[in-house]
């Protein structure tokens, strides 16, 4: 069980090529349309921070619920969290593009817009940046602690790291529940600065686990194909597919909950958010979002036998990877640029970020034992069966 993973040169080359594509897209974007490029920076930052935070949430959930079945591949969600420091740097760079994305950050807007003037004590550029730094400081600190405990478990062993991980997982659940939902409100919801939804933060925080599991599944199946995780059996895949299925219901539920209340109440400030999406030019994407993120996974994963299939599972994960992008695109773009544009800037930048993400995650994976050999629940996890 002395497995350590070394990223193959193919993965490194792929990541390198993707990053180069991304750099070209960024340069091309800033030369042609800076506002659109800044919006894309925000979409992609949020995209990969969501994945990192969701993975760490999943990791902590396993600890606080004492779930033994996932102990085998615990290092994968932990490795996804390694994107947080880089996400923080990229997010802080957004400081230079704030007026291009956020209406409230434009100079002089408080004199003409009473609603924004009312929100000014909270929504102003210095406080926005301070909050951003605070969020990242907390998340990164907790990630570093969790990873250090994992390293200690590999080298020293014993029950102590397990109890410590469990303790810090509880802290992390609280911190992410409060501050990741606040961050989602800060970064995404305030784009439409007149609109608000009390559900928005919770929705973003919960959905993050959904997409993180999709990526975790892809990485696990990829590594399994290479010969790692030889103990991975049908029961593990079954449980991962079930996780996806349950979260597809959660996604549909929360998505509709937010929509229905606004649709029913018909308050102008709130319907202004849904008008371009539900009835305007974004309509196709609006329905596509529901179809991709809820209907397809829900129907395909309904049967366990189909869900744990080695072809169906990665297919749905890839569909969900597109789904998160569509979802964020719909949340950001109508409010920031207001134009439905899709081209090289969008695809290229996403690919660049994906390359960076792949590089960071696989490097982080190689830094630890791939299978946590001293984990007290490892034996139980290996013999997991239904």
Partner 1 sequence: MANKHIIGVFDDENKLLAAIKNLKQYKANIKDVYGPTTNHDLIKALTRESLLPFLAVLVAIGTIIGAFGFLYYTSVIDYPLRYSGKPLFSFPPMVVILFLLTILVTGGVSVLAFLGRVQLFPGKQPVMIDPRASDDRFYLVMDQNFNPEEIKQWINEAGALEIVEKEIDTSTLWGF
Residues that bind partner 1 (CB under 8 A): 256, 259-260, 263-264, 266, 302, 385-386
**Considering the complex, what minimum distance in angstroms separates the CB of residue 303 from partner 1?**
8
Indicate the residue among 31 and 386 with the shorter CB distance to partner 1. 386
Least distance from partner 1 to the Cβ atom of residue 285, Å: 18
Q: Which is nearer to partner 1, 39 or 381 (CB)?
A: 381
DSSP element (H, E) containing 173: helix 160-175
Work out how close the CB of 253 gets to partner 1 at its nearest, in angstroms, rounded to a whole number.
9
Question: In whole angstroms, how close is the CB of 386 to partner 1 at the nearest point?
Answer: 6
- For 332, residues 6+ apart whose C-beta sits below 8 A from its C-beta are 39, 42, 43, 46, 101, 188, 191
Residues 64 and 169: beta-carbon distance below 8 Å: yes
d(CA 206, CA 191): 20
Residue by residue, DSSP assigns 214-241 as HHHHHHHHHHHHHT--TT--HHHHHHHH
For residue 28, what is the DSSP state? Answer: H
The smaller minimum CB distance to partner 1, of residues 255 and 359, is found at 255
Smallest distance, partner 1 to C-beta of residue 266, A: 6
Residue closer to partner 1, measured from CB, 95 or 256 = 256
Decide whether 124 or 233 has the Cβ nearer to partner 1.
233
Looking at the Cβ atoms of 32 and 303, the one nearer to partner 1 is: 303
Q: For partner 1, give the closer residue by CB, 198 or 264.
A: 264
Cβ 3 to partner 1 shortest distance, Å: 29
Of 17 and 267, which has the nearer Cβ to partner 1?
A: 267
Q: What share of the chain is helix, strand, coil (3-state, %, to 5)?
A: 80, 0, 20
Compute the distance between CA of residue 211 and CA of residue 213 in angstroms, rounded to an integer: 5
Which residues lie below 8 Å from residue 274, measured CB to CB, with a gap of 6+? 259, 262, 263
Locate 285 and state its tokens: 């994407």
**Minimum CB separation from partner 1 for residue 264, in Å?**
7
CA-to-CA distance for 173 and 125, rounded, in angstroms? 28
Nearer to partner 1, 263 or 342 (CB): 263
Report d(CA 194, CA 301) in Å as an integer.
Answer: 38
Least Å distance, CB 255 to partner 1, is 11
Minimum CB separation from partner 1 for residue 260, in Å? 6
For residue 306 the two structure tokens come to 């189909």
For partner 1, the closer CB: 126 or 264 = 264
In the chain, the N- to C-terminal Cα span, in Å, equals 24
Burial 250-288, CB ≥16 within 10 A → b, else e: ebbebbeebbeebeeeeeeebeebbebbeeeebeebbeb
Minimal distance in Å, beta carbon 302 to partner 1? 8
Phi first, then psi, for residue 369 (nearest 5°) are -65, 130
Sequence length of the chain is 386
């Amino acid at each position: 069980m002395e497995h350590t993973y070394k990223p193959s040169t193919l993965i490194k080359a792929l990541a390198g090529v993707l990053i180069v594509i991304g750099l070209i897209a960024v340069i091309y974007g800033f030369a042609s349309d800076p506002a659109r490029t800044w919006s894309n920076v925000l979409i992609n930052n949020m995209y990969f921070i969501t994945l990192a935070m969701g993975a760490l949430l999943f990791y902590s959930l396993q600890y606080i619920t004492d779930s033994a079945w996932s102990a085998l591949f615990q290092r994968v969600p932990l490795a996804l969290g390694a994107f947080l420091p880089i996400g923080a740097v990229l997010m802080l760079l957004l400081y230079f593009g704030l007026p291009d994305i956020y209406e409230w950050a434009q100079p002089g807007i408080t004199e003409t817009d009473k609603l924004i003037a009312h929100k000014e004590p909270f929504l102003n550029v210095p406080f926005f940046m301070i909050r951003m730094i605070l969020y990242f400081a907390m998340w990164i600190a907790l990630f570093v602690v969790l990873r250090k405990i994992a390293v200690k478990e590999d080298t020293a062993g014993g029950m102590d790291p397990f109890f410590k991980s469990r303790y810090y997982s509880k802290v992390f659940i609280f911190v992410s529940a409060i501050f990741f939902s606040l961050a989602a409100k800060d970064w995404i919801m305030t784009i439409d600065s007149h609109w608000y939804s009390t559900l928005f933060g919770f929705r973003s925080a919960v959905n993050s686990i959904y997409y993180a599991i999709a990526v975790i599944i892809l990485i696990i199946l990829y590594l399994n194909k290479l010969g790692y995780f030889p103990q991975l059996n049908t029961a593990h895949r079954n449980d991962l597919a079930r996780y996806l299925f349950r979260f597809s219901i959660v996604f549909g539920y929360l998505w509709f909950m937010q929509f229905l209340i606004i649709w029913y109440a018909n308050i102008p400030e709130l319907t202004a958010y849904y008008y371009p999406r539900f009835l305007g030019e974004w309509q196709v994407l609006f329905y596509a979002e529901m179809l991709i993120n809820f209907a397809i996974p829900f129907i395909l994963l309904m049967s366990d036998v189909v869900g744990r299939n080695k072809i169906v599972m990665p297919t749905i994960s890839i569909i969900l990877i597109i789904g998160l992008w569509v979802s964020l695109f719909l949340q950001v773009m109508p409010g920031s640029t207001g134009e439905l544009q899709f081209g090289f800037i969008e695809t290229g930048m996403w690919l660049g970020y994906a390359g960076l993400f792949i590089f960071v995650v696989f490097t982080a994976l190689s830094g630890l034992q791939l299978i946590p050999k001293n984990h007290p629940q490892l034996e139980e996890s290996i013999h997991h069966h239904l």
